[in-house]
Amino acid sequence: MSDGLWFWEEFTEHLLYGYRVKNYIYSGRSQFQQIDILELGVFGKSLFLDRKIQSAQIDEFVFHESLVHPGIITHGSPQKVLIIGGGEGATLREVLRASSVKRAVMVDIDGHLVDLCKKYMPEWSAGAFDDPRSEVVIDDAYQYIKNSDEKFDLIISDLTEPLEGGPSVKLFTRKYYSWLFEHLNEGGVLTVQSGSADPYYNKFFVSVTATLKEVFPVVRPYWAHVFSFNMPWGFNLASRITDPVELEEEEVIRRIKELGLGELKYLTPSLFLSSFSLPAYIKKSQEKVLPITEENPFLWTE
């Protein structure tokens, strides 16, 4: 191994990743989590929360386009969008690409993280925080949803995995998803960042799918390979009405054009449709899980 500074990520007790560091930009703790912003030799500028990689300059567009645009395309013309989490501002950036969007509310519990991302990672938000359609709320998303009566066309859950003692544990449960269902307008859509989708570490992904199926009439898990995560990554789309796999490619092309999304860096119309095709091992894993509840929360360990 070459000399120099290395950053180690313990993905689980069985799997360790090492990153060669070119520049240590920031390291410190907020009220909620450890925050490290590094320039890595391969991935470029990268964000780690609690020493787990969240976003890297080389491919953040893969993750954020995959999280945001399937929901936008499935809905067709969302005007009001709620983002849960998303402190870097890239999810907000992608939401605002849609010409139909008139209001985008981002709720993140960690205001210090948001400020750090604005300061050290402005490429991620690309001016989204200053867009007049944007509203940033620093609050616990659990309490925000519990106490709000506002309804949205699209809700995007861009949260960290539920670590023990972390702020996300209650935001992946059947109870919480039932609240989100009630905060969606007729025809509304929810997309959820759902963790790794590899053959070994996929239990969280399929558990989120099982939980959403307790609440929504249409649930479609999908995936993308995220280079900086070192594995395929899972997402879930839950809809009140529209089933995305029933859309023809010509209709997807038409919606992308009408929404003014422009030329995306990752997602294409054919990739949008094919991303809902999952391997046999994921389908097998789906048979073995129970929904996530507040009484039986999912805690990411391995």
Cβ 83 vs Cβ 104: under 8 Å: yes
| Cα separation of the two ends of the chain | 27
What's phi and psi for 160, nearest 5 deg?
Answer: -70, 160
* Pair of tokens at residue 145: 């949803």
CA distance 91 to 10: 26
Instruction: Name 156's bridge partners.
Output: 83, 191
Residue closest to 298 by CA, chosen among 183, 178, 210, 198: 210
Strand locations in the chain (E): 6-12, 15-29, 34-40, 44-49, 52-56, 80-85, 103-108, 134-138, 152-158, 184-196, 218-226, 231-239
Q: Which letter, b or e, does each residue of 67-89 get, where b requires 16 or more Cβ atoms within 10 Å of its Cβ?
A: bbbbbbbbbbebbbbbbbbbbbb
CA distance 106 to 128: 11
List active site positions: 158
H or E element that contains 128 = none
Burial of 206 (0-12, 13-18, 19+ CB in 10 A): buried
Tokens 């997309």 found at: 191
